[in-house]
């Protein structure tokens, strides 16, 4: 990736009114050509709002900082879980359930994000999310019992949940002609935050005196820094406007060749109201939701159980931790490249199949040679984990408007995270009952095959507004 792309990304601006009016209307995915409907004479495209260059720069910085804060509350806690359990007198059952609390909170709170964005605007909601993360992480060190600790964790996870859902919306709202580039940017930052928290939390805790309370509380500072650019964005009048309804908005979209094209909705006939977007009736939305859930399940299984698989094979605890950091760190470069590739393809199925194949290769390696090929399996599974930025990119491509993306993102992530909850628990149960890893690996491989199948459906060139 050329360095110039980073500068253009930070200074990217929405197409001006003259640019929009001078370009031919792009064909919507799945629509027919030459039918005489949907022409420029029949529909007047609503122009996207023009944002100042500084506003877009603040949004880009805020996007990166927000993404950096979406996983340290989870991956940082995992490295100190044993110390937290001892300090709070937490039972093993409650500690085990902590691995399933994040996706559950994402499902519950993430569904509120589109409604809040429509009422207050996406910038205000992301700003509030960053404040919730900072407050939750700052309060956790001062809790004296399990209940208070879980409550503070839930506050941070609520902020993460709404921000999770609105990241694709932010991209579609402020950078509609840079969907792939900006999705790659925040996906890369999210992967960097995840791997950094896993690798840094323990050494940072030791450097700060050895108290787990200081170690997990220090991440509140990063969340506080993320508040600043979003507070500045919120001061801009155009950024304070609520999200429009999906049926009312027209946006510029990055086409398969990287050129800007305007996709506008045909207005309703006189005397008729635009049909409301019924997300639950869209097969594409359901395919995306299931795909998102299966890839999330694979990711949480990897984060929760991969080090233990290596340790049971004879790998040292410190080496197993580094291998997990390598697995999560693979998402840093690939999360920037994959979305750009995905936006240039009409069907993202080949990428889905390639990432799934890497997962199956990794699971086969863990079955036959978990210790001797540990580093290789860590790298391959790191590639497979990059189904997450691909899923986020497909969410941005499966709707024509940022309001539609908001609904689709909330539906896919809420549904997906609910689907992902049982995965890590089932792996643990199978390991406990069998005493080995062959049964869990069979389950993981079966889930990966299902992920590939449903991902091929989700990757088709369709949009939810067409009822598909």
Question: CA nearest 134: which of 154, 159, 98?
Answer: 159
What digits encode the pLDDT tens for the residues 126-176? 999 999 999 999 999 998 888 898 889 889 999 998 998 888 888 888 888
Residue 9 pLDDT exceeds 50: no
Question: CA nearest 375: which of 418, 426, 323?
Answer: 323
Measured between alpha carbons, how far is 356 from 384 in angstroms, rounded to an integer? Answer: 6
pTM of the shown model: 0.67
Cβ-based neighbours of 32, under 8 Å, separated by 6 or more: none
CB 255 within 8 A of CB 410: no
Instruction: Between 405 and 30, name the one with better pLDDT.
Output: 405
pLDDT of residue 3: 42
Measured between alpha carbons, how far is 171 from 190 in angstroms, rounded to an integer? Answer: 15
CB 401 within 8 A of CB 249: yes
Give me the mean pLDDT over the 345-359 stretch. 93
Residue 389 corresponds to which tokens in the numbers above?
């930025």
Lowest mean pLDDT among 74-83, 148-157, 425-434, 458-467: 74-83
What digits encode the pLDDT tens for the residues 203-229? 888 888 888 899 889 999 999 999 999
What digits encode the pLDDT tens for the residues 375-389? 999 999 999 998 988
């Amino acid at each position: 990736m050329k360095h110039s792309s980073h500068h253009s990304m930070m200074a990217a601006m929405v197409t001006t009114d003259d640019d929009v009016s001078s370009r031919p209307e792009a064909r919507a995915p799945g629509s027919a050509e030459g039918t005489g409907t949907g022409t420029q004479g029949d529909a007047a495209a609503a122009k996207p709002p023009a944002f100042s260059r500084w506003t877009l720069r603040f949004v880009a910085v805020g996007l990166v900082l927000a993404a950096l804060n979406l996983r340290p509350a989870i991956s940082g806690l995992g490295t100190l879980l044993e110390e937290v359990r001892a300090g709070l007198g937490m039972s093993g059952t409650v500690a085990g359930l902590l691995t399933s609390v994040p996706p559950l909170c994402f499902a519950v709170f993430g569904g509120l994000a589109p409604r809040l964005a429509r009422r207050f605007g996406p910038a205000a909601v992301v700003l509030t999310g960053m404040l919730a993360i900072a407050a939750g992480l700052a309060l956790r060190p001062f809790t004296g019992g399990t209940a208070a600790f879980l409550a503070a964790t839930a506050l941070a996870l609520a902020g993460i949940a709404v921000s999770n859902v609105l990241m694709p919306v932010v991209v579609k709202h402020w950078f509609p002609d840079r969907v792939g580039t900006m999705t790659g940017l925040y996906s890369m930052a999210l992967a960097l935050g995840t791997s950094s928290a896993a690798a840094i939390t323990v050494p940072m805790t030791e450097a700060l005196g050895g108290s787990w309370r200081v170690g997990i509380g220090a991440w509140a500072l990063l969340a506080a820094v993320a508040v600043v650019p979003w507070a500045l964005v919120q001061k801009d009048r155009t950024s304070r406007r609520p999200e429009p309804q999906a049926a009312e908005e027209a946006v510029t979209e990055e086409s398969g060749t990287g050129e800007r094209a305007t996709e506008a909705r045909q207005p309703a006939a006189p005397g008729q109201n635009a049909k409301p977007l019924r997300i639950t009736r869209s097969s594409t939305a359901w395919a995306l939701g299931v795909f998102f859930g299966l890839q999330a399940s694979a990711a949480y299984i990897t984060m929760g159980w991969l080090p233990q698989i290596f340790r049971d094979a004879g790998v040292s605890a410190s080496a197993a931790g580094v291998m997990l950091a390598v697995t999560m760190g693979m998402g840093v470069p690939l999360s920037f490249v994959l979305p750009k590739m995905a936006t240039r393809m009409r069907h993202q199925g080949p990428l889905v199949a390639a990432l799934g194949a890497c997962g199956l290769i990794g699971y086969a390696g863990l079955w036959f040679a978990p210790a001797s090929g540990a580093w290789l399996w860590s790298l391959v599974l790191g590639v497979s984990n990059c189904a997450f930025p691909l899923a986020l990119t497909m969410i941005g491509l499966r709707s024509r408007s940022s309001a539609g993306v908001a609904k689709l993102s909330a539906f896919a992530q809420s549904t997906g995270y609910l689907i992902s909850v049982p995965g890590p628990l089932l792996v643990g149960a199978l390991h406990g009952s069998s005493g080995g890893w062959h049964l869990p690996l069979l389950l993981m491989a079966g889930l990966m095959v299902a992920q590939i199948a449903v991902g091929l459906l989700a990757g088709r060139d369709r949009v939810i507004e067409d009822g598909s």
